[in-house]
Structure 1
């Protein structure tokens, strides 16, 4: 029987992995999306949208659809999904890999301030600046809603929902962006502090380069810890090697 791989997606790496798996003879791939983006791009293989109903629901789905391996290629901050996937893999005995791109590392000229959570990031802002470029996603704005004395420039793909800051301007757009484009944006909006999550990867790193060139402080939210005893891969080739599905 052809091996069936479930990819928990939503990232660039998940898209690349699905394409690689779909190109392998005899391999079936299903990518699962949470459904938070209204118009996701095309994906190779089968696609399902929506949650599973927690770890127990995922266990049932894995068994019903005869899944042979799971790759968690969700966003590094999708902690609940990652925890559920780890529990489901343990309960079913199905091999699982967590595909996580490496996080960012500050250089000598970076002015980074690490925070353990969005509320911690919000607590740092009043001492760092008044005009904030907030790039932490539309679902975490409640942590900054009480900072009425600050102006926020918020960039998201989908429109945000309350609660959110009172003094806020929203940019609905999708990257990637170049460092020059990011620097132009920061200058045009007179930004004096950037807030971001440690997503890692090159696709969204241009804003860090722009902040460095303008000597702006950056508040970086640390990633949540991974569950204990999970197998991790830093990139698509490493994940494929761990799956051991045979030659392409």
Structure 2
């Protein structure tokens, strides 16, 4: 059974590793190609977009894909929507691996907002020195803010317009708590802006902000497409795939 894992996340790499060599499974991992030097999973890998829901549907059919696991970043809404449409058109089972969101802890000063534009509007209520840690995509939503100064952290340089007053910090997580505390102090950060990505790779910035008493503008995740089943862990996704193998061909699981 050929399975497509839509990846780019740690969960996608772990799932490819966990299912490598499993009898009855042939795994193909797909990366969008937006990161210059991505961590590659084991096994077959394709890099690049599909060109929309119709093109993805045609690719799935041509490649005889029997199941799809969407293990992309929690904010990869477009590929999630396209995948839901393409798999539904073909009757292919689809599973979403979605790491748990972060939860507010005692001492946190979180301001939850619906999207990037709302985050940019909300910033005017806080200080002038902003730690913008949303990745490289979406930075343009803050480009018109000329009063604030931004420390922008991303793996690769953002595309498009940037705020007029900023410093770019290129770095890849995980980040240690002591380093995050030092960063907030060194740059005299007034407010942190982050997506609710979840996971422990970048959670230290939230702990550091809590320790410093700083407000954090947290951008909520996009909603799942209707009818899509989601699980929290790689283990659950692996079990789902193995059940799919048994369902499709009981002999292959013996």
State TM-score, norm by structure 1: 0.96
Taking the aligned partners of 2:49 and 2:119, their CA distance within structure 1 comes to 29
Question: CA separation in 2, counterparts of 1:210 and 1:63?
Answer: 47
Which residue of the partner structure matches residue 5 of structure 1?
Answer: 3
Structure 1 partner of 2:229: 231
- Specify the alignment match of 2:117 in structure 1: 119
What's 2:146 paired with?
A: 148
Q: Does 1:195 align with 2:226?
A: no
Give deviations 1:157-184, integer Å, cap 9, x for gaps.
1012331100010001111011111000
- Deviation at residue 146 of structure 1 after TM alignment: 1.0
The aligned residue for residue 89 of structure 2 is 91
Across the aligned residues of Structure 1 and Structure 2, the Cα RMSD in angstroms comes to 1.2
TM normalised by structure 2 equals 0.94
| Residues 11-160 of structure 1: pairs in structure 2 closer than 5 A | 11-160=9-158
Aligned to 1:166: 164
* Residue 66 of structure 1, CA deviation: 0.7
2: distance between equivalents of 1:175 and 1:227?
29
Q: What is the CA–CA distance in structure 2 between the aligned matches of 1:41 and 1:166, rounded to whole Å?
A: 32
Unpaired runs of 5+ in structure 2?
Answer: 247-252
CA shift for structure 1 position 24: 1.3
Tell me the CA shift for residue 87 of structure 1: 0.7
Could you tell me which of 172, 175, 178 is aligned with 2:176? 178
1:212 matched residue in structure 2: 210
Q: State how far apart, in whole Å, the 1-side matches of 2:110 and 2:208 are.
A: 13
Where do 4+ consecutive residues of structure 1 move more than 6 Å?
none
Helix, strand or coil at the partner of 2:137: helix
